[in-house]
Structure 1
Amino acid sequence: MFLTPADRVREFEERGWWRGESVDALTRRAVSLGGSSEALVDPFNRKSLDARDPERLTWEALDERVDRLASVLLSEGLRKDDIVLAQLPNTIDAVLLFLACARLGAVLSPVAMPYRAHELEFIVEKLAPRFFVTVAAFAGFDHAEQGRAIAATPGGPQLLLFAEGADGLYERAASAEPARTWGHVAANPVAGGEVLTVCWTSGTESRPKGVPRDHNHWILNGEVVADGTGARDGDILLNPFPLVNIGSIGGLVMPWLLLATKLVLHHPFDLGVFLKQIENEDVSYTIAPPAVLTALLKQPEILDGVDISTLHTVSSGSAPLSPWLIEGWAKRGIEITNVFGSNEGAGLFSSADSVPDYGNRARFFPRFGATGQQWRARSHEVSTSRLVDPETGAEIVEPGKPGELRLGGASIFSGYWQSPELTEAAFDEQGHFRTGDLFEIAEDERFYRFVGRSKEIIVRGGINISPAEIDDLLAGLPVAVEAATVGVPDDRLGERIAVALVAKDGCAPELEDVTDWLAERDVAIYKRPEMLVLVESLPRNPMNKVMRNELRETVIGQLPG
């Protein structure tokens, strides 16, 4: 399936920005290099999560398992370009399915484990996937039952379960014939310009947006991350986030394939398990949210109880970092890389190499891709960047004036899934992606300084949440005249969700009224508000749009403490 314009593919491949090969070609190269060395490790606590014993795979064993899983998919009738919707925890099964889809030329669309019918039914309608692959149960939730309900919708996908028994993927894959896969691969070559994934992201719109990314995109993403964050040859990588977005797939899975090293998986996030995995597996590179890194520095007794001396670099982002945090970890011999990115392919990295000063690294990012700049970085070679005044559209070239960061080049996606209007709005007249984030050129003109978000998204624990989506769901709330959602600052998660509500006469709404209403509509738990503030009216502009910045200040002013 080709969605990226052919002339763009040709140009970027000729310039050497894209390799023009598939992720499977990269995988086979890693298998050849890795051989009998360990490649993939399950969370050691997996049995408590989905009742499966944890596994450890060598590169050779991984290659065979990918072939066998791919063979099962083919036996079910999968054809090249079919879409596979997947809701899987961060175990080896998710990685095997990702690699099997890459091998077969299928398109994988991974979704988060907390998604329920509200999110899944929308995505199924939008994607029309051939298969829905999930687990029987995870962390106490019956995913098999939910999967059967999704499969039963009109035109719904065929359900396949990673489960025990003759019909489950485990037993079927164990007895599958790899030769079926080999024949399919020989007859159906996969080009670098073909789509590999459709991930889902939230923004100002009321529903998630599908973000297609090609094999070329993902391989370049791995190159950029490995080059820009401080990951090194021979690193053992720990991935604490499920394979649903660019942070996990691009930030760890693709560098793992490029480096042909060992990848350790972790899910859901558990600090004790996370630290013990670093100690037990000699992890040297990982990613972690700022709140976790801050909490550990403030509780040194936790760190004193484990040996994490093999760890040299941690990448972090989704919320501003502090110089205190970066310096505190540097004193322990661990460098923090400040990362700015998005599913659409935006990416800036401040590492110990590119920005040695702790204070600057917390606030600044190299102006990769900016006119007149010189950086020895893969990201600089393959990208373009500029700042634009959001009011006038004029390009900003002098320090100290905030503007929207706009990015172009080979890392950026080509458009949203079947959403031409959203795609048109996402790019400017020069073909640059509108990130929706405000930066300014620093006094040292080699750097951008992050100012804030111009979009209305809420970032809770590194996950983007659309306030408009929650607003739409609350429109029928019986106790409310109207309601609107905002994010409020939180030391641990970055932001939490708060609802400002205008109550109907005679009603005394409580937070439980809101959360129960959303639960009845099968909305993912992480989207449910944690705070409720009653207001007399919602601030609106002349176009009757809620002014969230003003509303946010009102909400914060009414919260206790």
Structure 2
Amino acid sequence: MSPLSLDLSPDLFPALTEAQADPDGPGAHRPALHFGDRSLTYGELAATASPLAARVAEAGRIAVWATPTLETAVAVVAALLAGVPAVPLNPKSGESELGHIVSDSAPTLALAAPGTQLPPALAALERLDIDTSAPTTSLPSPGAPDPESPALIVYTSGTTGPPKGAVIPRRAIATTLDALADAWQWTGDDVLVHGLPLFHVHGLILGILGPLRRGGSVRHLGRFETAGVARELSEGATMLFGVPTMYHRIAETLPDDPALAKALARARLLVSGSAALPVHDHERIAQATGRRVIERYGMTETLMNTSVRADGEPRAGTVGVPLPGVELRLTEEDGTTAVEAYDGETVGEIQVRGPNLFTEYLNRPEATAAAFTEDGWFRTGDMAVRDPDGYVRIVGRKATDLIKSGGYKIGAGEIENALLEHPGVREAAVTGEPDADLGERIVAWIVPADSQSPPTVDELADHVARRLAPHKRPRVVHHLDALPRNDMGKIMKRALTHD
């Protein structure tokens, strides 16, 4: 692993600064952002974003209506140039959630693409339309902000209460992106393609700010389509970012789409994140393309913690090793006793610390304090095991995926992967329910490949017992037409209820 040189200077985008300083230089003509038939070079981005930065410099905080468009990228870059915290808003959020976020973050401006209709929750804010037509000259950006100053306020999913605003400093963005550059050998020659939303860490920080920090370019699909992936990778894109739902669609399409298989085979790096990619989809993609998808692990509060490295083994079912600069430990249920085992079996909660972490939950000092241990480790709530060589395998969330059955601590994730290897299973989720004898029994929620002939509980129990261990077999199986999922494709287990 190469050493990581952390650049904590206020300049997040050296290539943009260079283009601004020399509008006629070669760097100014390099492509930066591409959305459909609209694009900006670095020179055009500098000339577009810097006047906007000057306009918002005294705004305090700004809300960005984060549609998957060129305007969103320009607005966030302008906010970062100005040193003004940006609050990306999910356009699919309901009125109640939007109202909470706007009230909690108290922005003074709402930035949006011209012609976009904003909901009533934003009606009280002054609106500023984002003009992406570059003026002839760019304006000097406001003074360089402190690396510890807030860059983004990104709201969590709110699964256990109202969404909390994670305050992400400039330092965390810079160190995460530089650590990923080290792990993925990411350079300015890379061209990234993705179709992710732009209101969260994966789509916005990694997918838009990542290429801009490297001096490379991004091609956003607007909305994900396998045909768009094939087109962009065939026309020079080198990297693909996606979530498991996207890679599942790719795996399903590959047998009948040789052009897609050929395009994926040309990619330098295929990256999946935001949830675990089932091993079955890993193998189908590798078999069809000769390319392995690598996974990384992060959270809103921590940005990126681990990844399979480009120069490492692309092992399916793991999220790799800690990134440079990130400390990671597993702990027992008491939250302080370290799990020392590297045996691939002993489950512990992931705790991390490092320069990639958020500063605080906005307006929530008690929640911020509760999120950290006394010695400064962030409690992720994710459960994992470590293989002998340090690879981390996440087995679920502490709140919903740790099942205590018959004296064993079992992670739901590994059972789900085993179930997905059964030919009769299209989708799978695993939960626990009270059991007088075992403490908890393992429950499988299955979307069968053939609804007319679903696999039986005995068949699935034997299948899991052969692959993992007898105590990990499901005792109850429910058949569903579909699993409940959120916008990112994550299964919402709290919505799985017994009849």
TM tier relative to shorter chain:
0.7 to 0.9
Report whether the alignment pairs 1:320 with 2:320: no
Aligned residue in 2 for 1:385:
328
The one-letter code matched in structure 1 to 2:308 is: S
1:451 to partner: Cα distance: 1.7
Aligned residue in 1 for 2:361:
416
* Shift in CA distance, 310/363, structure 1 to aligned 2, threshold 3 Å: closer
- Once residues 346 and 201 of structure 2 are traced to their aligned partners in structure 1, the CA distance between those partners, rounded to angstroms, is 30
Aligned residue in 2 for 1:402:
347
Report whether the alignment pairs 1:291 with 2:245: yes
Aligned residue in 1 for 2:391:
447
The one-letter code matched in structure 1 to 2:16 is: T
1:16 to partner: Cα distance: 5.8
Pick aligned residue for 2:43 from 42, 55, 60: 60
* Shift in CA distance, 80/239, structure 1 to aligned 2, threshold 3 Å: farther
Whether the 8 Å contact between 1:218 and 1:250 is mirrored in structure 2 is: yes
Aligned residue in 1 for 2:117:
144
* Shift in CA distance, 491/259, structure 1 to aligned 2, threshold 3 Å: farther
Secondary structure of the structure 2 residue equivalent to 1:35: helix
- Once residues 129 and 448 of structure 2 are traced to their aligned partners in structure 1, the CA distance between those partners, rounded to angstroms, is 38
> What do the CA deviations read for 1:296-354 (whole angstroms, capped 9, x no partner)?
33332443144515322111023333444334434424331111111112421123522
Report whether the alignment pairs 1:84 with 2:62: yes
Secondary structure of the structure 2 residue equivalent to 1:363: coil
The one-letter code matched in structure 2 to 1:61 is: E
Pick aligned residue for 1:340 from 279, 297, 300: 297
- Once residues 455 and 161 of structure 1 are traced to their aligned partners in structure 2, the CA distance between those partners, rounded to angstroms, is 42
- Once residues 113 and 99 of structure 2 are traced to their aligned partners in structure 1, the CA distance between those partners, rounded to angstroms, is 18
Report whether the alignment pairs 1:353 with 2:286: no
- Once residues 30 and 487 of structure 1 are traced to their aligned partners in structure 2, the CA distance between those partners, rounded to angstroms, is 55
- Once residues 490 and 317 of structure 2 are traced to their aligned partners in structure 1, the CA distance between those partners, rounded to angstroms, is 30
Secondary structure of the structure 2 residue equivalent to 1:364: coil
Whether the 8 Å contact between 2:194 and 2:221 is mirrored in structure 1 is: yes
1:383 to partner: Cα distance: 1.5
Gaps of 5+ in 1: 1-14, 44-53, 138-142, 163-168, 369-378, 458-485, 493-514, 516-523, 532-547
1:128 to partner: Cα distance: 1.1
So what's the TM-score if we normalise by structure 1?
A: 0.66
* Shift in CA distance, 490/286, structure 1 to aligned 2, threshold 3 Å: farther
* Shift in CA distance, 392/69, structure 1 to aligned 2, threshold 3 Å: closer
Residues 211-360 of structure 1: pairs in structure 2 closer than 5 A: 211-229=166-184, 231-279=186-234, 281-306=235-260, 308=263, 309-331=265-287, 332-345=289-302, 346-356=304-314
The one-letter code matched in structure 1 to 2:293 is: I
1:58 to partner: Cα distance: 1.6
Pick aligned residue for 2:146 from 168, 191, 206: 191
Report whether the alignment pairs 1:433 with 2:378: yes
Pick aligned residue for 2:103 from 115, 125, 131: 125
Whether the 8 Å contact between 1:222 and 1:252 is mirrored in structure 2 is: no
Secondary structure of the structure 2 residue equivalent to 1:396: coil
* Shift in CA distance, 16/223, structure 1 to aligned 2, threshold 3 Å: closer
Secondary structure of the structure 1 residue equivalent to 2:73: helix
* Shift in CA distance, 223/217, structure 1 to aligned 2, threshold 3 Å: same
> What do the CA deviations read for 1:270-304 (whole angstroms, capped 9, x no partner)?
3333333333x421101122233233333324431
- Once residues 252 and 489 of structure 2 are traced to their aligned partners in structure 1, the CA distance between those partners, rounded to angstroms, is 29
Whether the 8 Å contact between 1:84 and 1:131 is mirrored in structure 2 is: yes
- Report how many residues are paired: 411
The one-letter code matched in structure 2 to 1:28 is: T
Secondary structure of the structure 1 residue equivalent to 2:384: strand
Whether the 8 Å contact between 1:335 and 1:352 is mirrored in structure 2 is: no
* Shift in CA distance, 92/424, structure 1 to aligned 2, threshold 3 Å: same
* Shift in CA distance, 438/23, structure 1 to aligned 2, threshold 3 Å: same
Whether the 8 Å contact between 1:30 and 1:260 is mirrored in structure 2 is: no
The one-letter code matched in structure 1 to 2:43 is: E
Gaps of 5+ in 2: 402-442, 450-483
* Shift in CA distance, 34/228, structure 1 to aligned 2, threshold 3 Å: same
User: Which of the pair has the greater relative contact order for Cα pairs under 8 Å at 6+ separation?
Assistant: 1
1:232 to partner: Cα distance: 4.4
The one-letter code matched in structure 1 to 2:61 is: I
Pick aligned residue for 2:89 from 111, 119, 133: 111
- Once residues 530 and 410 of structure 1 are traced to their aligned partners in structure 2, the CA distance between those partners, rounded to angstroms, is 30
Secondary structure of the structure 2 residue equivalent to 1:410: coil
Whether the 8 Å contact between 2:224 and 2:246 is mirrored in structure 1 is: no
- Once residues 283 and 188 of structure 2 are traced to their aligned partners in structure 1, the CA distance between those partners, rounded to angstroms, is 25
* Shift in CA distance, 488/161, structure 1 to aligned 2, threshold 3 Å: farther
- Once residues 132 and 487 of structure 1 are traced to their aligned partners in structure 2, the CA distance between those partners, rounded to angstroms, is 44
1:223 to partner: Cα distance: 1.0
- Once residues 66 and 434 of structure 1 are traced to their aligned partners in structure 2, the CA distance between those partners, rounded to angstroms, is 37
Residues 28-39 of structure 1: pairs in structure 2 closer than 5 A: 28-29=17-18, 34-39=27-32
- Once residues 275 and 311 of structure 1 are traced to their aligned partners in structure 2, the CA distance between those partners, rounded to angstroms, is 10
- Once residues 488 and 389 of structure 2 are traced to their aligned partners in structure 1, the CA distance between those partners, rounded to angstroms, is 39
Whether the 8 Å contact between 1:131 and 1:157 is mirrored in structure 2 is: yes
- Once residues 248 and 196 of structure 1 are traced to their aligned partners in structure 2, the CA distance between those partners, rounded to angstroms, is 16
- Once residues 390 and 29 of structure 1 are traced to their aligned partners in structure 2, the CA distance between those partners, rounded to angstroms, is 50
1:487 to partner: Cα distance: 12
Greater helix percent: which structure?
A: 1
* Shift in CA distance, 299/248, structure 1 to aligned 2, threshold 3 Å: closer
* Shift in CA distance, 103/287, structure 1 to aligned 2, threshold 3 Å: same
Whether the 8 Å contact between 2:331 and 2:350 is mirrored in structure 1 is: yes
> What do the CA deviations read for 1:43-66 (whole angstroms, capped 9, x no partner)?
2xxxxxxxxxx3222211121111
The sequence identity of aligned pairs, in percent, is 20
